[in-house]
Structure 1
Amino acid sequence: MERVARTGQNTVALVAVCLAALMFGLEISSVPVILPTLETALHSDFKEVQWIMNAYTIACTTVLMATGTLADRFGRKRVFIISILLFGITSLLCGLAQSTLVLIISRFLQGMGGGAMLICSIAILSHQFREGRERGRAFGMWGIISGVGLGFGPIIGGAIVMVSNWQWVFLVHVGIAIITALLVFRGVQESRDPQAKKLDVAGIISLSLAVFGLAYYITQGQVIGFRSMAGLGILGGAVISFIIFLRVEKQHAHPMFDFSVFRIRRFSGAIIGCIGMNFSFWPFMIYLPIYFQSALGYDIITAGLSLLAYTLPTLVVPPLAERLTLRYQARVIIPMGLLMIGVGFLIMYYGSSVAHASWLTMLPGSLLAGIGLSLTNTPVTNTTTGAVTPDRAGMASGIDMSARLITLAINIALMGFILVEGIYSYLESNLPGAMATAPLHASAEKIAVGLSATDISEATAHAALVHGFGWVMLFGGIGVCVLALVSLLIFGIRPINKK
């Protein structure tokens, strides 16, 4: 009877954790497809569009390690409930925003709730599901529901805008958050780390400043000047902050980043997987809707449907990924998944460069990249948390998610920069008597978000946009292929011990 009751409680807990994953996944994949709508409704420019997404990811990063420590110390269930309610409240603020600035601030606050919610959910999964088969099923289900949010997010976001307005892309989370909090209260077991110590405030602040400074430098560098005193000061501040972070963590008695875990090859190889997934796949998710709507001329629903090939594998592949990992080990599956993402991007590059590009020419590369992501995602999480003892699951999952979100935040900015520079390069080479640098860059930024640029023909603007996206796809493909090799080398060619 006790076993039946425990099974029922675990089922409720799993549903709650999966709903949290659904919200987080929807918030990542449903917002990009409405960015062109937000540009018009809120009169946003290209840099503001980047910050609508980057505010969320940077905020997630700022709270990850603090949440892991607080959850270990005060209870993972308690902090999980607080984070879910915070996510619901801030989603309401996003939906009520009437300006780009208010939306960016609300997104930052929402990201704090989302990051805390996600880190707690992973730690709870690791604690409440410990047996090998049960743990595999739980993480597999978590991966499937994450895939539902990620896979159907684009079409859901597009459909919401078509039948109602963009505000409901955010407001829908309010009701889901209330239901999730009630399920957590009923089904999740409270757990703590008896060895949890004080919050590493210096580490949190220095790491957050480093990430924000680098993302700001990349995003705003063209305006403030990459080589100006202000630009170099921001970049120098980010570098100094990161050096301070490393020094603080090495000297702290109980650091939020325990670098000793990187001696575990399974953990380090999986962390490269975290970085690889967010080097290209997820940041490109921000820009791919612009390609479908502006370069291919699709409406918002067609663009959302076209994105399904990119995201839908995250729904169906995770269970297969878990079985393959059990059979061949993470040392094989994670590098293989990263390689598939990279090759997928290179195929997308070819598909976008053909004479009559369409969703069909993008389909093979999109599918391959999505399958590669799906093969990597769940095994990475399971490997990083499984490589350490259960009482360190919060810290391990914190490093896992920090690696993902820091890479995502930086590459959202970097891909935007590469896109604009690719467009600018084409305009500079193909316009007779090209404009001065500043006006031409301004035109490139307008083209990057699908707007018309003065004194530039529609055909030239379209060709420049395709050229810019080609640069981005090459960057994403080559970069993640290199990371696949790095992951393989860290894991080692031969089988390795679990510790």
Structure 2
Amino acid sequence: MTAEQTVPTPTGSAPTTTGRAAGTTTGSGSGSDRPNHRWIALAVIALAQLMVVLDATIVNIALPSAQADLGFGTDQRQWIVTAYSLAFGSLLLLGGRLGDLFGRKTTFIVGLVGFALASVLGGLADSFGLLVAARALQGVFGALLAPSALGMLTTTFRDPKERGRAFGIFGSIAGSGAAIGLLLGGVLTEYASWRWCLYVNVVFAVLGVIGALVFMAKPPKVERPRIDVAGVLTITAGLVGIVYGFSNAESNGWDAPLTIVMLAAGVLLVAAFVVIETRVAHPLLPLRVVLDRDRGGAFIAIGLVAIGMFGIFLFLTYYLEQTLGFSSLQTGLAFLPMPLSIMVSATQIGGRLLPRVGPKVLIFAGGLVAATGLLLLLRTDVDSTYAGTVLPALIVIGLGMGTIFSSAMNTATTGVARADAGVASATVNTMQQIGGSIGTALLSTIFADVVKDSLSGLSAAPTKLQQAQAVIDGYHVAFGISAGVLVLVALAGGLLINRQSVRLAKLERAASATTGSIPAAAH
């Protein structure tokens, strides 16, 4: 078999070439092509993914201390989060395509180094403006790093069983990183300083760079077509509009003029981007990547999961701290059963069963299980206990989430041409980011409205107990809506994923055995 032999792929996918690709080598016996090196490379990739995912929640834990130290107002706190979200969410597709063009190992290392330097800058910040700038830089380099990590995973693991295990591990990190961030942020804030919530990224980055240099293969020389400048400009501006629009809706309401203008402009620019991608020779996001039925269903499921997860982390954190009186550290420890449950289900259920039953069944079942866990949170009350109400729900939610993440991420990147692996991975991250933005705005405003309505119905000034019960009512609505969103995840898996995807494992084995290419999705 030659180093570059083209094999046919299903409708909707570009021809897939065999042999060398970004992030792998063939025949040299070096780098990630060695079996043991592939798994070490996976550990490096997972470490980088963990750094990116936990950064959101770990910084949220640090915000009150940072505010007291730097002296900025409560109304300014939002920009610490928004600066990162805008840069990260708007540049993901460009970051993924740069990895495709210049080599994912290169962009992976650059992303790690840049993220670490931005974290140091944030840790050293002596003003609000410098901290915001550092967070924006974190977002820029995170947008380069995240799709490179998933793209390398996609091109490194080709055997169906290995691929299932690898995505099980990666999915467990993606699903549990936010909870780990709560725990780590609580520890660092309580026993060190809020600045260490940023400095800790340097440890992850140093380990990641060393691992990448030693265990990841040198990317081969590839043809570098011109960057789709028009596509970059329209999608970047469009995503900025959408992310900022949802962020503004959270603080100023859905009827605020700026919210309406930004969301409308964002949607129009994304529509213009789609038109551009159909006409340029070298599109930033080839539409074949998203129009494949299985991948499209997986992308939708991933976006919906991000909406649902927001209800878990934000409002359950509020419940634990404000209602049950937990400290930040106790809250982080309280969430620990969920990432453990995610890891078990992602590796043992999703990772092992995906080659046998396909993503359709697993995403459907995972969505229903996670929704059931959220419905268990409707039993929470002002005098509930953690062990009796929260703990069982977290375990059930984790079992469902882990199954969804490992299956959906694998499906979203299966059958993609090697040249498109980075941008396909970036689409996964973009769906997560947009879903999180929607969840933040939608659930926060609904929660506030429910609390307001509950209190306005009282004839006299509300007592502390009545105020607490009104907040509980808001939590219940948020949990209920999140459960409904996860039912939609199940439907996306059950209705949009191709019925023949149960044959995925057989086709993957055949493709891997004969070509060494990225397996093609069943149709």
Classify the TM-score, shorter chain.
0.7 to 0.9
Secondary structure of the structure 2 residue equivalent to 1:312: helix
Structure 1 residues 41 and 307: alpha-carbon distance in aligned structure 2, compared to 1, 3 A threshold: farther
In 2, the alpha carbon distance for the partners of 1:43 and 1:285 equals 27
Output one character per residue of 1:374-413: Cα deviation in whole Å (capped at 9) or x when no partner: 1111222221212223332222212222112121122222
CA shift, 1:123, in A, is 1.2
Of 374-383 and 485-494, the range deviating more from structure 2 = 485-494
**Kept in 2: contact 1:66–1:200 (CA 8 A):** no
Structure 1 residues 67 and 337: alpha-carbon distance in aligned structure 2, compared to 1, 3 A threshold: same
Alignment partner of 2:229 out of 175, 179, 201: 201
CA shift, 1:120, in A, is 0.6
Q: State the TM-score, normalized to the length of structure 2.
A: 0.82
In 2, the alpha carbon distance for the partners of 1:458 and 1:224 equals 27
In 2, the alpha carbon distance for the partners of 1:222 and 1:399 equals 24
**Kept in 1: contact 2:294–2:498 (CA 8 A):** no
**Kept in 1: contact 2:305–2:485 (CA 8 A):** no
**Kept in 1: contact 2:171–2:409 (CA 8 A):** no
1:456-467 maps to which residues of 2 (within 5 A)? 457-467=463-473
The answer for the alignment partner of 1:346 in structure 2 is 375
1:237-252 maps to which residues of 2 (within 5 A)? 237-252=265-280
**Kept in 2: contact 1:344–1:369 (CA 8 A):** yes
1:328 and 2:357 correspond:
yes
What amino acid is the match of 1:26? L
The answer for the alignment partner of 2:104 in structure 1 is 76
In 1, the alpha carbon distance for the partners of 2:455 and 2:243 equals 26
In 1, the alpha carbon distance for the partners of 2:47 and 2:250 equals 40
Of 142-151 and 88-97, the range deviating more from structure 2 = 142-151
What amino acid is the match of 1:180? G
What amino acid is the match of 1:290? Y
User: Identity of aligned pairs, percent?
Assistant: 26
1:475 and 2:475 correspond:
no
In 2, the alpha carbon distance for the partners of 1:386 and 1:490 equals 16
1:105-184 maps to which residues of 2 (within 5 A)? 105-144=133-172, 146=174, 149-184=177-212
Structure 1 residues 2 and 113: alpha-carbon distance in aligned structure 2, compared to 1, 3 A threshold: closer
The answer for the alignment partner of 1:411 in structure 2 is 439
What amino acid is the match of 2:478? V
The answer for the alignment partner of 1:64 in structure 2 is 92
In 1, the alpha carbon distance for the partners of 2:75 and 2:239 equals 17
In 1, the alpha carbon distance for the partners of 2:385 and 2:453 equals 21
Alignment partner of 1:293 out of 310, 316, 321: 321
Output one character per residue of 1:56-92: Cα deviation in whole Å (capped at 9) or x when no partner: 3332222221122111111111111100001101111
CA shift, 1:259, in A, is 2.2
Considering fraction of residues, name the structure with more helix. Answer: 1
The answer for the alignment partner of 1:189 in structure 2 is 217
CA shift, 1:431, in A, is 5.8
In 1, the alpha carbon distance for the partners of 2:256 and 2:29 equals 66
In 1, the alpha carbon distance for the partners of 2:288 and 2:28 equals 39
In 2, the alpha carbon distance for the partners of 1:37 and 1:429 equals 36
In 2, the alpha carbon distance for the partners of 1:302 and 1:223 equals 28
Secondary structure of the structure 2 residue equivalent to 1:197: coil
Structure 1 residues 35 and 426: alpha-carbon distance in aligned structure 2, compared to 1, 3 A threshold: farther
In 1, the alpha carbon distance for the partners of 2:165 and 2:264 equals 46
* Structural RMSD (CA): 3.0
1:396-407 maps to which residues of 2 (within 5 A)? 396-407=424-435
**Kept in 2: contact 1:68–1:394 (CA 8 A):** yes
CA shift, 1:475, in A, is 1.6
**Kept in 1: contact 2:324–2:382 (CA 8 A):** no
Output one character per residue of 1:172-197: Cα deviation in whole Å (capped at 9) or x when no partner: 11132123112212221233684553
In 2, the alpha carbon distance for the partners of 1:332 and 1:80 equals 33
**Kept in 1: contact 2:253–2:445 (CA 8 A):** no
**Kept in 2: contact 1:93–1:106 (CA 8 A):** yes
Structure 1 residues 385 and 359: alpha-carbon distance in aligned structure 2, compared to 1, 3 A threshold: same
In 2, the alpha carbon distance for the partners of 1:331 and 1:46 equals 45
Structure 1 residues 467 and 135: alpha-carbon distance in aligned structure 2, compared to 1, 3 A threshold: same
Secondary structure of the structure 1 residue equivalent to 2:225: coil
Structure 2: which 5+ runs fail to align?
1-26, 504-521
Secondary structure of the structure 2 residue equivalent to 1:31: helix
CA shift, 1:430, in A, is 2.5
**Kept in 1: contact 2:302–2:428 (CA 8 A):** yes
In 1, the alpha carbon distance for the partners of 2:183 and 2:257 equals 44
**Kept in 2: contact 1:18–1:145 (CA 8 A):** yes
Structure 1 residues 82 and 130: alpha-carbon distance in aligned structure 2, compared to 1, 3 A threshold: same
What amino acid is the match of 1:323? R
Structure 1 residues 316 and 230: alpha-carbon distance in aligned structure 2, compared to 1, 3 A threshold: closer
Structure 1 residues 236 and 87: alpha-carbon distance in aligned structure 2, compared to 1, 3 A threshold: same
What amino acid is the match of 1:485? L
Structure 1: which 5+ runs fail to align?
434-455
